[in-house]
Every structure is written in C-alpha cells, then in structure tokens.
Structure 1
C-alpha cells in the first residue's frame, strides 16, 4: 500500500511537467498524452527500481519520448493525416505566441528541439540534459545555441527583420 501512495504522489507532482515537455517535443497533445500514460504505466510496473533512480521524472520523460518516437515510426502515414486535420482546427484559449512557438519548434531538428524544451520549458540544467539524453555537455550547449538561432529565424516577423517595421517606413 505504501508503494501505491508513493507512486500516486510522484505521479500527481510530475505528470503535468512531463506532459508539457512531451507535447512541446512532438506538437500533438493526444499523442503526448498516450505516450505519457504508457510511460507512467511502465514506471508503476517497475516502481521499485524507478524510485531508486537519480530522477524518476527523468526516467518517465525518457520513456515517454521513446514511446512517442516508436509510435511515429510505426504510424507515419496516420500521423501525417492527423496533423493535417489538427492544423485545420481552432483551439480556444491558445495564444498566438503559443501557436508560434509550437510551430517554430516543429521546424527545428529533433535534437535541437529536445535540448531547447528540456532547458527552457522543463528547466533542466545543461548537465541534467546531458545525463538524460546520454551525451556530453558541449553537445547540449551546441544544440541549445543552434536551436535558439533556428527558433529565432522562425519567430522573427519578416517586416521587422528587414527593418520595415514601425518607425522604419521607407
């Protein structure tokens, strides 16, 4: 019974962060929810080992990401059709900035996107990201710099980038 209460507390404290991370990574909330649910189910099955990890939340994030990637590989055509349908839907309460950021995140490489999301949205340090994804800190730093640069290119409004914004009319 103690394990169930401990797992429930862990789940309640971490599920929104993990879901937010994965949604930002893959850009599809329903797919993110499915992968996160599967990751927590696997964590519960292995709770005795998972709770001993340095970061059980990182373990769940990693598994959720792998589940999502595996699903992508198996259902590429279905996801393409689904994304076309989702892109045509309007979502109430979503800000223009939110849509712009999610759209821009979809335009950068998966490695850069993962580093940016883990650092800026999840709040992990460079060292924590390196440990979680199994690479060195310099690689993470490079991905962050390149990812930010790529995001900036997708988030900059053309009329301002060319100097034709307010106060700069020709």
Structure 2
C-alpha cells in the first residue's frame, strides 16, 4: 500500500473508526485515539488484508481501546476518589436505554458484548468480524449464535421476573 492508497483508506474509514471509538471512549478522546489507530495502520500497512480494510482497522482499534482503558485504570488506582459527574452516555447506552434489552445486554460477558456490538452497532459481516477477532468464520458464527441465545435467555429471565 503506497501513500496515496493509504490516504484513500484514511478518508474512506476515518468516520467509521471515529464512530466505533465514540461508542467505547469519552468523546474528547476520539480524535487522539483515531490518530493513534491510523498511525499504527500506516506502520503495519503491509498486514492489511485486501478487501477487509475496515475490519482490519477495527481490529487495531480494539487493541488501542484496550490499551487506553488499561492506562486509565492504572491512573485511577493512584488518584484519590473524586466526586465527578458521569460522562455522556455512549451510543450503545442510548440505543439500549430504558429497556430490558439494556439490562440483558449488560449481563452478557465482555466477549458476547463485543460480538453483538460488532454485528449490530458496527454493522460488520461475519467475515469482517472474523478478521477483527482473528477467528474463522465458522467459529465467529457459532460464537454469535451462542451470544444471541444468551441474550435471549437473559431477556426471558427478565420477563419472567415481571
């Protein structure tokens, strides 16, 4: 991938990467993290699979978000407890707000949440999710099937409690 191809990639996917980030981090961090993602992408441009550029960028973004959260936790551990307002809700929180779906979704494991978020919020295909997660399409399909079943079971449990 040469410079012009990378610029085209950047222009085509910056908005998608920014949306992905805005659902996972505070709004004021999106631009910095997006820059970091594209910097890594430039350094690793030879690793980009043909036709799977966005999924590849999401994979990098997943690592960047994980590192960002890890650093944030380390900073918080060393700070005194402060009384601060909550940050603005994420797009996922707003989409799920006020419904049993939010409670059922929150009860899922982190990997189930990630799978369903990539499918529903990022609108990725099974093939693209497989690239993001580094798994086969068959494994991804099976994991998605089980995640949906667990979400449905959580919802059924909530409804039976009403």
Contact 2:59/2:131 (<8 A) preserved? no
Structure number with bigger Rg: 1
CA–CA distance in 2 between the matches of 1:155 and 1:32? 32
Q: Deviations over 1:65-108 (max 9, x none)?
A: 11211222233154688xx8462x557xx79842629x665553
**Could you say if the C-alpha distance between residues 86 and 65 of structure 1 is closer, same or farther in structure 2, counting changes exceeding 3 Å?**
farther
* Aligned mate of 2:49, from 48, 53, 60: 53
* Partner of residue 140, structure 1: 140
Which consecutive residues of structure 2, in runs of 5 or more, have no partner in the other structure? none
Q: What's the offset of the Cα at 1:153?
A: 7.0
1:27 deviates by 5.0
Moved over 6 A (4+): 153-156
Matching residue within 43, 61, 66 for 2:63: 66
Counterpart pick for 1:39 among 33, 37, 40: 37
Structure 1 pair 108/16, CA: closer, same or farther in 2 (3 Å)?
farther
**8 Å Cα contact 1:27/1:106 also seen in 2:** no
1: CA distance, partners of 2:76 / 2:152:
27
Aligned to 1:19: 18
Distance 2:62 2:92 in 1: 25
The aligned length equals: 152
Q: Is the 8 A contact 2:26 2:88 kept in 1?
A: no
Task: Say which SS state the counterpart of residue 12 (structure 2) adopts.
Answer: helix
Structure 2 length-normalised TM? 0.65
Q: What is the RMSD of the two structures over their aligned residues, measured on CA atoms? A: 3.9
State the partner residue of 1:167. none
Task: Mark the runs of 5 or more structure 1 residues left unpaired by the alignment.
Answer: 165-170
User: What is the TM-score normalised by the length of structure 1?
Assistant: 0.62
